[in-house]
């Protein structure tokens, strides 16, 4: 089978990633140190093992570790300031799955003014 985006150029090498049905229901823990490195599990349904599946904490992306179809784990990045950030899941190709989850960074800031 061959695929074409324009009806002229064809390729047999194509990767299709289906993201429908992926749901994040819980983020545990929901508190992490501003120093980073806290393992956070995203719990949900229909996760798949993709080498470029990433977690987003605020606007910062980090790699994920696939556990099974209901759990992935990500390590939090360092945060300049304490506060709450939204948690998202990013698929290969850049598609974002926003969640209703948030993570609170606690502790002293990394930089002093």
19's CB contacts (< 8 A; 6+ apart) are: 91, 95, 97
Q: Decide if 2 is inside a domain.
A: no
Comparing 2-6, 22-26, 54-58, 70-74, the range with the smallest average pLDDT is 2-6
Distance of alpha carbon 86 from alpha carbon 99, whole angstroms: 8
Kindly report the CATH number assigned to the domain that includes residue 90.
2.60.40.10
Q: In this structure, is residue 11 part of a structural domain?
A: no
**1 within domain boundaries:** no
Q: What is the pTM of this model?
A: 0.75
Using one digit for the tens of pLDDT, what is the confidence trace for 35-46?
Answer: 999 999 999 998
**Number of independent structural domains in the chain:** 1
Is residue 7, in this structure, part of any structural domain at all? no
**Per-residue confidence (pLDDT) for residue 113, from 0 to 100:** 45
In this structure, of 12-16, 36-40, 64-68, the range with the lowest mean pLDDT score is 12-16
pLDDT band per the 50, 70, 90 thresholds, residue 20? low
Residue 81 structural domain? 19-106
Predicted confidence at residue 92, as pLDDT, reads 81
Q: What percent of the chain has pLDDT over 90?
A: 50
Query: For residue 96, is it within any domain?
Result: yes
Residue 6 belongs to a domain: no
Rounded to whole angstroms, what are the CA distances from 43 to 20, 50, 57, 101? 16, 16, 15, 11
């Amino acid at each position: 089978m061959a695929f074409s985006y324009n009806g002229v150029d064809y390729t047999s090498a194509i990767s299709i990633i289906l993201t429908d049905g992926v749901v994040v229901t819980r983020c545990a823990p929901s508190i992490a140190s501003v120093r980073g490195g806290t393992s956070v599990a995203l719990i949900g349904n229909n996760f798949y093992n993709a080498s470029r599946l990433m977690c987003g904490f605020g606007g910062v992306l980090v790699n994920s570790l696939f556990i099974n179809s209901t759990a992935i784990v990500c390590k939090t990045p360092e945060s300049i300031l304490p506060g709450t950030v939204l948690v998202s899941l990013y698929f290969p190709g850049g598609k974002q799955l926003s969640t209703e989850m948030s993570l609170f960074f606690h502790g002293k800031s990394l930089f002093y003014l």
